[in-house]
Structure formats: structure tokens, C-alpha cells
A and B are shown apart, each in its own frame.
Chain A
Amino acid sequence: MKTRGALVVGVAVIGLGVLLGGLRVNPYVYFAGYVVLQYVVIATAWNVLGGYAGYVNFGTPAFFALGAYTSIFLIEAFKAPLPVLIVCGGLVAALLGLGIGYLTLRLKGVFFSIATFALSVVLQTLIINWEYVGGAKGYTLIRPPAPFFRSWGVLLFTLMVVLAVVTVLVARTIERSWIGRGLAALRDNEEAAECMGVPTLRLKLFATTLSGFFLGVAGAPFPYYVTYVEPSSAFDLNYAVNALAMPMIGGTTTWLGPVIGAVLLGTAQQVATVTISSELNLLIVGVVLVLFVVLAPEGITGLVRRLRRR
């Protein structure tokens, strides 16, 4: 598929999203759809660092929540509109990504993962103690009537369709560029990459920054979605686990993997929440992840590729 073809598909998906928004279906569909699409953004963003470059990030909640809390701050301070929130949420989280990239310069493998996990804990503690954005008791957002759309549900759903398409297109472009090739070298053998003159440090920083940006973007509309944000929901462990599990299930080396993983797992979780229990989600993720790690370590896309080769 060529770049232009991908753009056409992207626009078509957005069009489909707008059409769906026009349907008079149960509003719950939009709420559930938002969550699934949010996970497409999160899984794709995580995969730029975790899948392409091979740096497993356990700190997804930190970046996501930073996007959300940047929004809260900007709403409190300037009553900033939604597009501004998304750009700023992304930029602030990107800065965090750049900082973490520098701090963990020489950390690899499990040590990098531990460092990012610690980041999440540290940031949550800071937010809990920052009264301006609600502190431990949380922040309540009173939404004005939804502009342009008939409800916030439809507006946010459509917005997430657009964000998901943009994120996936960016990830796909990177994957097929020299940057993507360099990141693959980083993942496979960082030392060898350095010998070949691959700018390993700059590529790693690029990946942490870009991954952070889109994780922040995913979190920026969160206050509008839930209207009540508390640290424990914004820093939910679910984000860390899902961000990792979805690409692993779909396949980490291509852009399609996280999309497939997010749609499958995200939908399964939404269905389970309604039909069984909302507490069961993490259990489902765990079981599915173990199954995949054992039976199809390269995810669904890897499995398909292997079957095709035969």
C-alpha cells in the first residue's frame, strides 16, 4: 500500500466515523468506541518506542495522565479550547518523553522498564499533592453544551477517530522511513547499530519524544470524556498493561499490530464490562497476553506472516 493509498484509507475511516456519529444509535456505542479508539492511539504510540525501538515502557499512565492534567491546568488557567488542549497535552508529554530519554540514556531492557514505572509513581504523587488541579480529591469539569455536534459523546468519538487515524498514519510513515529502519537496528542490536554509524542516541530520544507526544494526545481529551478526573483513574494501571499487551497481541514490528490488538482487546474489554464485570478486564488481558506470549510470540501479524511463508 502506497502512502497516498494509506491517506485515502485514513480519510475514509474518518468519513466512516463521522457517518457513525450521524446514526441515532444507543449513546453507549460512542462511549465504548471512544475508549477503543483511545487505545488505538495509546497502543500505536507505545509501539513507536516499545515495538520499533525495543524499549519497553511501563510508564504509559504517566504520559497519559500528564496529557489529561495539562488539559485540566489549561482549562483552569485559561479556559483553553479542546484543540489547544490536545496540542499542549501532546507537547508537554513529549517533553517528558525527551527528559526520560535523557535520564535513561544508558538503561536498557528491564532497567529501562523499571525506570519508566517509577516515573509513573513519582508523577502520581506530585499530582496528588497539587491542589490546583484537584489533588487527591479529583477535579470536576462542568462541560458547556457540545459545539457543532449533538452531544459530547458523538463529538469525542469523532475526535478520537481523527486522532487515531493521524497517529497510525504517522507511525506507519516512520516505520517505512530510514528512521524506522534505524529504530529496528536499535531494537535488534544497539551496539552494532552504533558501529554502522546509526545515530542511536538521537533515534532513541526521537522515539521517546514522539511516543510521549501521542500518549499525551490520547490523554488530553480525557477530562471532557469522564468529567471527573482523579489521580487513581488517570494513572490507572490498566493503561500500562493495555499499552503493552495490545501491541504484543497484534504484533510489535508493524503499525497494523497495535491497531489489531487495540481493537480486539479493547472491544473484548468493553463487552466484558457490560456483560460480566468491570473488574474482570485486567484478568482478561492477563490471560490473553500469556496465551499469546506462549503460542504466538510475534503476535497476530507475525502469525499471519509465518503462515503465509509456508
Chain B
Amino acid sequence: MRDVVAGYGAVRILHGVSVEVREGETVALLGTNGNGKSTLIKCIMGLLTPDAGEIYLESDGARIDLTKRSTEEIVDLGIALVPEGRRLFPRLTVEENLLLGAYRTGARADIDRNLPFCFEAFPVLRERRRQLAGSMSGGEQQMLAIARALMSSPRILLVDEPSVGLAPILVTRVIAKIRELKDRYQLTVLMAEQNFNQATKIADRGYIIVHGRIEFEGRSTAELRENELVKKYYLGV
């Protein structure tokens, strides 16, 4: 993603953001509320068209421009989103939620394989498969949102603020789960998060976004920890 400029109507949120995620990496996108993390993720998913800049996916030597693709095509390319605030289908059952994760024609063929995988990775979802998604606890809902994203057999997982509204112990569990799944399915992960400590537990490296600009690029979590911005904003040192 290079020099991306985006916003809603007259309000500009991103002012030339460049972010790179290499295959197999876990990259954290760090920033407090209102700095453009979700906007950036929406741009990647094709839910929002950038005003300028380019977003592309390189795979097998081909370079695919994502700004010209619809969300449907982007899902087909193997990119899946765990949306902010979970965005489940609250009045549908857990199983129906999971099946909707595999809505794309390409993913439907793999349901027989992916559904048992999800139940194995999240045993609680198997127990509650007939329960309405909205009636589960916050932690379980977040697990369902992650499982639902996996139903499309993605190669790249975008996770938008998995810690929102969860108790600290649950955040730890969710973060650990993301790492476990990443290793298991060889996923590439881009995670937007404001919980610095949790995110750096699993990230290989990260970016700090402030007011729609990348203010710092940390090539390792150690570099991130040492950064003045981080110390100022997150660690309160």
C-alpha cells in the first residue's frame, strides 16, 4: 500500500499512508482512536475507495490493484476481515454466521473441510452452533468473528481491533488464538490495535499511525518499544 489518501466525503482521514506486509508476517498497525486504522483496513477490503495512492497484492509474480476491485473480488483473492466491533449476525445462529463467512462460491466447496477446522480450533463454537450469535459473551463473539473470517480459506487476515470491549484476560486469549491460527494456516496477518502490549506480543513488526500519517515504522517489536512516540502515548513513561 503506497501513499494512500482516503476519507469520507470532505473529511480526509488518511494523508498518504504507505504500509507493507510481506508474506507470512504479522504486522501491527498501532494507533489510538481516530487515527485512521479502520479507514486503512476498509480501503484494503474495498469497502472504501481511496482518493489517491495505490493498494496492491503481489502473489505468484502477478500484481493486482485492489483499489479497482470490489469487496467480493477481494475476498475471492484470499483476504478476509475480522471487523471492528465484531459485526456478527446477531439473530442468526453460530453455524449460520460461519457459513456466511464462506459465502463466496470458491469458499463453499471447502465448507466440509473448514467448518470442522473452525469447530476444532474453537470448541466452544461447536457446543453453541445452534445458539444465536448475539446471545453469546463478548469473548465468544470475538472468537466467532475470527472463525467466520477463516471460513473463506484466507491467506491474508485483517484483524481490526480485536481487543475492543473485552476483559484483559480475554484479550490475551484472543491474541494468543490469532497467533496459533496464523502458525497453523500460514496466514499473513495485519492487525489494527490500540492495545500496544498485547499487539506486540505476536507482531513481527509494526507501524504507528497518528492523524492519518505513519509516524514510525518499527522493524521489530524491540524497536517499537524503544520508540519515543510509544513511550509517550502508550507506555506512559
> Which residues in A have some Cβ–Cβ distance to B below 8 Å?
178, 181-182, 184-185, 188-189, 191-199
Interface flag for B159 (CB, 8 Å): no
Name the one of A178, A185, A194, A197 contacting B89, with C-beta atoms under 8 angstroms. A185
Since A193-B89, A197-B104 are in contact, a sample of 8 more A-B pairs with Cβ atoms closer than 8 Å, ordered by chain A residue number, is A181-B103, A188-B89, A188-B92, A189-B87, A189-B89, A191-B83, A192-B83, A197-B103
Please name all residues of chain B whose beta carbon is closer than 8 Å to the beta carbon of A188 when the two chains form the complex.
Answer: 89-92
Within 8 A of A (CB), among B75-131: 75-76, 81, 83, 87-92, 96, 99-101, 103-104, 108
The verdict on B174 contacting chain A, using a C-beta distance below 8 Å, is no
Are A195's CB and B92's CB within 8 A? no
Among B81, B87, B89, B100, the one with the most A-chain Cβ atoms within 10 Å of its Cβ is B100
Q: Which 4 A-B pairs have the closest CB atoms?
A: A197-B75, A192-B87, A188-B89, A197-B72
Any A CB within 8 A of the CB of B205: no
Selected A-B contacts with CB under 8 Å, 10 pairs: A181-B100, A182-B103, A185-B92, A189-B90, A194-B71, A196-B103, A197-B72, A197-B74, A197-B76, A199-B72
Shortest Cβ distance from A194 into B: residue? B71
> CB-CB < 8 A to A199: which residues of B?
72
B224 to chain A, nearest CB (A): 28
Q: Is B213 close to A, CB under 8 A?
A: no
Are B88 and A189 neighbours in the complex by a CB distance under 8 Å?
yes
Name B's A-contacting residues (CB within 8 A): 45, 47, 71-72, 74-76, 81, 83, 87-92, 96, 99-101, 103-104, 108, 148, 152
Residues of A with C-beta under 8 A to B89: 184-185, 188-189, 192-193
Q: Which chain B residues lie closer than 8 Å to A198 at the CB level?
A: 72, 100, 103
CB-based nearest B residue for A189: B89
Closest A residue to B79 by beta carbon equals A197
Give Cα A66 to B187, complex, Å. Answer: 54
User: Known contacts A184-B92, A197-B72, A197-B76: does B87 contact A191 (CB below 8 Å)?
Assistant: yes
Evaluate whether A195 and B100 lie within 8 angstroms (CB atoms) in the complex, with A184-B89, A188-B91, A189-B90 already known.
Answer: no
Given the complex of chains A and B, what is the CA–CA distance between A185 and B102 in angstroms?
Answer: 12
Give the CA-CA distance A181 to B75 in the complex, in Å. 18
Give the chain A neighbours of B152 by CB distance below 8 A: 196-197
Q: Is A178 a contact of B87 with CB atoms below 8 Å?
A: no
Taking a contact as CB atoms under 8 Å apart, the answer to whether A196 and B47 are in contact is no
**What separation, in Å, do the CA atoms of A193 and B96 have in the docked complex?**
12
The answer to whether A184 touches B96, judged by C-beta atoms less than 8 angstroms apart, is: yes
Residues of B near A192 (CB, < 8 A) are 83, 87-89
Which residue of B is nearest A187, CB measured?
B91
Complex-state Cα separation, A251 to B75, whole angstroms: 33
The residue of chain B having its C-beta at the shortest distance from the C-beta of A298 within the complex is B91
Q: Do A195 and B83 touch across chains, with their CB atoms under 8 A apart?
A: yes
Flag if A195 contacts B103 (CB, 8 Å): no
Is the beta-carbon distance between B90 and A197 smaller than 8 angstroms? no
Which of B81, B89, B152 has the largest count of A CB atoms less than 10 A from its CB?
B89
